[in-house]
């Protein structure tokens, strides 16, 4: 949250906003070709900044429109995973099988993986619930063959930002989409795999409470 807000504030300043003049911030936010949800995030970021420095403003309210998330076909996800580097492919396969948030897997430690019982212990983000997730044989094999280059962590050193990993994924995704001539692959993001997992779980079980628990949510909403 902190990193995201700082990033938004830097963007606003770069595009002409004076953080000590709320009217210029309003103007810059209004001009951006962002969805209303991102504009609200920018307002939240600026409100937090003003709270820190003792300022006040009347933030604009942008009405967000809820949309059904894009759910790719499983064959498309598998096609994308197959075309990525080994580390990226393993990261994506872990997201697909666990339905975890990208940060929960980015900070995964080797001690969280039990290769004998084929389980992964997920340490939650965003005040979610911790959970124990079963691994299939494919994911178990991919993780066991991954080189241990990051000490006690599976995918990253402690100070490595996940945004860098996301940019690497974007480049690999674009290459694979061009090679397969499937532009739908460009709509797949890390969080898309969480939506996919939840959708498939509900399709199989028709039990929304089971899906809630599997994804770590505390509230059915």
pLDDT, residue 138, reads 96
| pLDDT tens digit sequence for 116-150 | 999 999 999 878 899 999 999 999 999 999 999 99
Q: How much is the average pLDDT of 180-200?
A: 97
Phi, psi of 55 (to 5 degrees): -100, 170
Task: For residues 182 and 120, give the distance between their C-alpha atoms in angstroms, rounded to a whole number.
Answer: 32
Task: For residues 175 and 180, give the distance between their C-alpha atoms in angstroms, rounded to a whole number.
Answer: 9
Q: DSSP labels for 67-90? A: -PPP---HHHHHHHHHHS-HHHHH
Q: How much is the average pLDDT of 201-214?
A: 96
Residue 1 reports pLDDT greater than 90? no
Q: How much is the average pLDDT of 93-107?
A: 96
Q: Residue 120's beta-bridge partner residues?
A: 113, 133
pLDDT band at residue 158 using 50, 70 and 90 as cut-offs:
confident
In terms of residues, how long is the chain?
Answer: 221
Q: CB atoms < 10 A from the CB of 82, how many?
A: 11
pLDDT band at residue 55 using 50, 70 and 90 as cut-offs:
very high
pLDDT, residue 38, reads 93
Q: Which two tokens stand for residue 125?
A: 């983000």
Q: pTM for this structure? A: 0.82
pLDDT, residue 102, reads 95
pLDDT, residue 64, reads 85
pLDDT band at residue 42 using 50, 70 and 90 as cut-offs:
very high
pLDDT, residue 147, reads 94
Average pLDDT, the chain: 95
Q: In the structure, how many helices (H) and strands (E) does the chain have?
A: 10, 3
């Amino acid at each position: 949250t902190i990193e995201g807000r700082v990033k938004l504030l830097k963007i606003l300043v770069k595009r002409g906003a004076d953080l000590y003049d709320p009217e210029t911030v309003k103007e810059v936010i209004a001009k951006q070709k962002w969805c209303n949800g991102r504009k609200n995030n920018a307002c939240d970021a600026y409100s937090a900044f003003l709270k820190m420095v003792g300022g006040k403003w009347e933030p604009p309210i942008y009405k967000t429109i809820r949309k059904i998330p894009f759910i790719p076909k499983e064959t498309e996800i598998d096609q994308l995973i197959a075309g990525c580097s080994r580390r990226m492919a393993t990261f994506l396969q872990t997201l697909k099988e666990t339905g975890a948030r990208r940060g929960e897997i980015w900070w995964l430690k080797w001690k969280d993986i039990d290769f004998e019982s084929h389980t992964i212990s997920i340490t939650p983000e965003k005040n979610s619930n911790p959970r124990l997730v079963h691994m299939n044989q494919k994911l178990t094999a991919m993780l066991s063959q991954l080189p241990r280059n990051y000490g006690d962590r599976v995918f990253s050193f402690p100070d490595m930002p996940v945004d860098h990993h996301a940019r690497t994924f974007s480049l690999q995704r674009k290459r694979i989409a061009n090679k397969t001539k499937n532009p739908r692959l460009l709509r797949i993001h890390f969080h898309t795999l969480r939506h996919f997992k939840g959708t498939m779980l509900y399709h199989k079980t028709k039990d929304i409470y089971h899906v809630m628990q599997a994804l770590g949510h505390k509230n059915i909403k």
